Amino acid sequence: GENVGLHLPTLSVQEGDNSIINCAYSNSASDYFIWYKQESGKGPQFIIDIRSNMDKRQGQRVTVLLNKTVKHLSLQIAATQPGDSAVYFCAEKGGSNYKLTFGKGTLLTVNP
C-alpha cells in the first residue's frame, strides 16, 4: 500500500546550525502534508503544513519544501536550538479529508 517514509532515522546537529529533515512519500494523490514534532513523553505537535499547490512555505524558523516531481518533502529548521530536540514526523493526507498517514520519524538531537 501507499506509505510515507523518512530517509534518515537520526540527525545530530550543533546548536545554531541549520537542520534539514527529509521525507519521501509514495501516494501521488496526496495533496496535503504536515510536519509534527514529538518531544519525549508527549503527543505529536503540529509545526507547519503545506498544500500540494505550493512548493514552499515558511514559518517561524521553519521552512517546508515540497517537490511533487520526486515526491519529496523536507523540513528546514534555522538556528537549531536544544529545545528543537525531538522526533519529527511527516504526515500526508490524500483520498480523505481526515486520515493522516505518518512516516516513521526522525530523531533530531541538538548538541550544545
Partner 1 sequence: DAGVIQSPRHEVTEMGQEVTLRCKPISGHNSLFWYRQTMMRGLELLIYFNNNVPIDDSGMPEDRFSAKMPNASFSTLKIQPSEPRDSAVYFCASSYQAGGEQFFGPGTRLTVL
Q: Which residues lie near partner 1 (CB under 8 A)?
A: 41-46, 49, 89, 93, 96-100, 102-105
Identify any residues that bridge with 94 across adjacent strands, giving them in sequence order.
Answer: none
Using alpha carbons, list the distances in angstroms from residue 88 to 21, 38, 68, 72, 84: 8, 6, 20, 15, 10
The count of C-alpha atoms lying within 13 angstroms of the C-alpha of 14, restricted to the half-sphere facing its C-beta, is 2
Nearest distance, CB of residue 5 and partner 1, angstroms:
9
Is residue 88 a contact partner of residue 104, using CB atoms and an 8 Å limit?
A: no
Q: Which is nearer to partner 1, 45 or 111 (CB)?
A: 45
Residue 27 beta carbon to partner 1: minimum distance, rounded to whole angstroms: 15
Nearer to partner 1, 45 or 58 (CB): 45
Closest distance to partner 1 from the beta carbon of 97 (Å)? 4
